[in-house]
Every structure is written in structure tokens, then in C-alpha cells.
Amino acid sequence: MLRITQTTLGAVRKCNHWAECGELLLRAGVGGNPTGWKSAAISANGIGNSRSQSSMTSGESSDNKRQISSSSGTTNNSKPEDTSNTSSSPLTDKFGRFHSYLRISLTERCNLRCKYCMPAEGVQLTHKDNLLSKDEVLRLASLFVEEGVRKIRLTGGEPTVRKDLTEIVERLKRIPLLESVGITTNGLMLTRQLVGLQRAGLDALNISLDTLKAAKYEQISRRKGWDRVIAGIDLAIQLGYKPKVNCVLMKGFNDDEMCDFVAMTEERHVDVRFIEYMPFTGNRWDTSQMVPFREALATIRTRYPQFEALENGPNDTSKAYGVPGFRGQIGFITSMTEHFCGTCNRLRITADGNLKVCLFGNTEVSLRDALRAGCSEDDLRCLISAAVKRKKKQHAGMLNLSQMKNRPMILIGG
Ligand code: SAM
Ligand code: SF4
């Protein structure tokens, strides 16, 4: 583990060359700790900062253009974002990928216990003093927007369990240049909170739902609440959103419901996204549980032969499909069988303040510790740039990922 000291940061404070700063920071590891710099550690061990843990456990609005993008229906036609003016940005990595999308996890807590996300034994929660405060979230968000982030999604854990969620959305919406603020939620609290969130300016929402059968919901989420989620989805549609409905496909659990989800898009203005089941620490993933994209596509086409590929936006992680005449659409998030690392524009900040440049990478840097040690904005830019420059070209492949140490998904924020 490398430790970056404040002394080292001081030495690069005036430097405007982000790549060089990055190098300097990454070579850091010597020096004292004169002013209380704690541990903005870049680690390769899965958890980059000094996690103080308690003994508790816890468990876009896209348009609906119908354009066929390839006859086989399996090509992702998205073009990478124009990065001509961003090559020297701290948010550009060494492969030229500019990161304009930030996901911020607001909490490690959740009111569900989904089997693919939350380990059966629960997770150790970070003490609340060591989670990012509202002001810290806002300060980091503003800095990332200054550097070119245009879209922020709040996630968790379950972001709606955080009492200041509406205020955070409202304050994020005041940041000039930020174009979209969204949340990813399990939907349980939407009937109570969505009107307020919309007033606060919420632009987009993703709602997770893995089954259309109430009885099966409890099997996967280990809690009740299916009807509340459906009510939340319908409320979102009534309020004018086109929610994305995230559905993790799992063999033997919901692979028999794929066509029912497609049927759901006939009348409902939703974008159902089938997500390939991904390995994270504690979820006992194996390939036999995964429904590969092409298999899902073939199954759906047995009932909907006209199921066709639609146009994708730049940097889309999902491959868009739909049935002509249906109000909603389908997307496939093929992280395992056809990764989209080449156009990745996403960065993540965990609830405990670590910057994670890749969902499947275990190198992290603690922005929380840097903030709390009194780092200037330039120091923070250097730290961020260093981490972004270290981003790998692509993830290691599903079999390697399943062997790799990473956080459980609930502690990352999807
Ligand atoms: N609690 C919120 C929710 O469920 O939408 C936000 C956090 S959750 C970690 C974000 C997304 O990650 C959800 O759509 C969830 O289905 C997805 N997810 C969690 N674990 C996953 C896994 N192992 N493979 C694929 N997707 C996963
Ligand atoms: Fe909670 Fe979302 Fe994870 Fe389910 S997927 S346990 S709702 S954080």
C-alpha cells in the first residue's frame, strides 16, 4: 500500500500537469505526517481508506427512437464521447477516456438484503462519522463538475434511507453545468419521497425490480415490498419520468420472466434493463447462474421475433432493444459477456469517500481523508487525476473477477 503524505502533496500543489502529478503521487510513500494527513491511501487490497467499522451489520431520460442499428442486433453502435478538449483534464485516463459521469454512494445501509448484492452474513458498516457528510458530498460533486462531470447518480446501499437525500438533490441541482441528477433505488420508498425529489429537481431514476411475481420478490430480496415497488414505478411514470427498471437476470430464478418484462414495456413507458449477474465479494457468483446476453436475446425472440436493436447513445452501457409499437424499451447490460470498458465514462465515490475508478477494480483512494486533512482543491485534483490515470484498459474478465477481492456491491454502489 502506498501512503501519500501531505508533504508530498505540498510539493505538487502548484503543478498543473495532471499526468505528472499523478506520477508523483503514485510514487509517494515516504515522508512524515506533519499536519495530520491520515490515510489517502491508494491500495490494491480492496479497501483503500482506513475504514472505521462498527460492529453493526446491514444487511436518463432517453428518447424512444426506434432505429435499427444492426441486423444481428448484437452490435453496440454507440460512439465514444468527443474527447478533443479533454485530453489534459484530470478526468481523462491514459487511454483517452474522459469521465463525465459520477456515481456517488450515499449510504451503506439498505432496507432490502438482495442475495446478489448483500452477503448472507451482512456487511460491516462504516461508522457514520466516517461516511461522507452532505457538505463533503456537495464539495466533491462541485469539484468533479468543474472538471467536466455532467451527470451524477446517487446510489448506495439504498439512497432513500438517507434522510438528507432530497436536500442533497436540491443542492446538486444548483451546481452550474451539471446537467442531470439521478438516483438508483430499490423503489420501496418512492411513493413517499418521489414528489419531493421531483420538486428538488431529480432528473432521472433507476428502479430495481428482479421479478414480476410478488411471491418471488421476497426470495431474492429477503424482504417484502413488491407491490410498493410497482406502485413506485407507476408513480414515476405518472410524474413524467421514463424510469429505468434494473433487473438482474439469474438462471433458475427469473430467466423464465424475461418475456413478461418485455410485455411490461407494451403499455408502460419504462426502460427495462436486463443486467448480467456480476461477481462481487460475498455473493457466491458462478457462471452457471448467469444468463448471457445472447441467450436472453434468443429466448425473447422466440416470443417476440420482431424484437429489434435500437440506437444507443454515446457511452451507453446498455444495448437498447424494443418491440415496434411498444411504449417502453429493453436494454441489456452485458458487463460480463461483452464488456463496454472501451467507452467507459464512469467514476464512483463510495459512501465512505473512496474514489473507485472501475467497478471491478480494487484500487481506491480516499477523498474523504484528503478533504478532512485540509487539502486544497488543487491537491484534490492531483489525487483524483492520479487515480484516474491508473484506470486499467478493461476489467479482468468474469472468471478472474470472481476470484478477485473487491467490495460487496452494497458497499460500492451500482
Ligand atoms: N439500492 C439501490 C438499488 O437496488 O437500486 C441502489 C444500489 S444497488 C447496489 C444498484 C444496482 O446494482 C441495482 O440495480 C442492483 O440490481 C445492481 N446489482 C447489485 N448487485 C449486482 C450484481 N451482483 N450483479 C449485477 N447487478 C447488481
Ligand atoms: Fe439493497 Fe440495492 Fe443491494 Fe438490493 S441491490 S441489497 S436494494 S443496495
Angle (deg, nearest 10), helices 226-238 and 190-200: 30
Q: Tell me the one-letter amino acid at 225.
A: G
Q: Give the per-residue pLDDT at 134.
A: 98
Mean pLDDT of the chain: 82
What is the rounded distance in angstroms from the CA atom of residue 293 to the CA atom of residue 284? Answer: 20
Rounded to 10°, the helix 377-389/18-27 angle is 80
Res 37 pLDDT > 90: no
DSSP 188: T
Residue 120 CA: which ligand is closest? 2
The mean per-residue pLDDT over the stretch 175-184 comes to 98
Positive or negative: CA dihedral 261, 264, 266, 271:
negative
Q: Is 63 exposed, middle or buried (0-12, 13-18, 19+ CB in 10 A)?
A: exposed
Per-residue pLDDT tens over the stretch 286-295 = 889 999 999 9
Q: Mind listing the pLDDT tens digit for each residue in 260-269?
A: 999 999 999 9
Q: Is 329 helix (H, G, I), strand (E, B) or coil?
A: strand
Does any ligand 1 atom lie closer than 6 A to the CB of residue 12?
Answer: no
Kindly tell me if the per-residue pLDDT of 345 is higher than 80: yes
Residue 7 confidence class, pLDDT cut points 50, 70, 90: very low
The pLDDT score that the predictor gives to residue 162 is: 97
Q: Would you place residue 282 in the very low, low, confident or very high pLDDT band (cuts 50, 70, 90)? A: confident
- pLDDT > 50? residue 413: yes
Confidence class for position 19, pLDDT limits 50, 70, 90? very low
Strands (DSSP E) found in 227-317: 244-249, 271-276, 308-309
Q: How far is the CA of 248 from the centre of ligand 1 (A)?
A: 8
Question: What's the average model confidence in pLDDT over 228-254?
Answer: 97
CB 260 within 8 A of CB 299: no
C-alpha grid cell, residue 226: 413488491
Among all chains, which residue has been given the C-alpha cell 454502489? 413
Q: Could you tell me the pTM of the whole model?
A: 0.83
CA of 153 to the centre of ligand 1 (A): 13
Give the CA-trace dihedral at 198, 330, 230, 160, to 10 degrees: -40
Q: Is the CB of 208 under 6 A from ligand 1?
A: yes
- Residue 237: burial class (beta carbons within 10 Å; 0-12, 13-18, 19+): middle
Q: DSSP H helical segments within 258-350, as ranges? A: 258-267, 293-303
Mean pLDDT (whole number) for 347-364: 92
Top mutation candidate among 109, 275, 332 for ligand 1, by most atoms within 8 Å of CB: 275
**How confident is the model at residue 255, as a pLDDT?**
97
Q: How far is CA 301 from CA 24, 212, 383, in A?
A: 53, 20, 48
- The residue type found at 113 is R
Report the distance separating Cα 202 and Cα 204, nearest Å: 6
Looking at 191-345, which runs of residues are DSSP E strands? 204-208, 244-249, 271-276, 308-309, 318-322, 329-333
- pLDDT digit string (tens) for 319-333? 999 999 999 999 999
pLDDT at res. 362? 79
Which of 57, 105, 117 most suits a substitution to test ligand 2, by most atoms within 8 Å of the C-beta?
117
Lowest mean per-residue pLDDT among 2-6, 145-149, 163-167 = 2-6
Pick from 17-26, 42-51, 60-69, 303-312: least confident:
60-69
pLDDT value of residue 189: 98
The mean pLDDT value for 337-363 works out to 90
d(CA 108, CA 59): 9
Higher-confidence residue of 334 and 46: namely: 334
Residue pair 235/191 in contact (Cβ under 8 Å)? The answer is yes
pLDDT of residue 338: 85
Q: Which residues line ligand 2 (CB under 6 A)?
A: 110, 112-114, 117-118, 156-158, 186, 208, 410
Q: What is the mean pLDDT of residues 243-248?
A: 98
CA angle 116, 120, 122 (to 5 degrees): 105
Q: Reply yes or no on whether the pLDDT at 365 is more than 80.
A: yes
| pLDDT higher at 336 or 243 | 243
Q: What is the pLDDT of residue 122?
A: 86
Q: Among 158, 228, 247, 359, name the best residue to mutate to test ligand 2's pocket (greatest count of ligand atoms within 8 A of Cβ).
A: 158
Q: Residue 171 has what DSSP assignment?
A: H
Confidence bin at 84 (pLDDT 50/70/90):
low
Is the confidence at residue 20, as pLDDT, over 70? Answer: no
Contact 399, 288 (CB under 8 A): no
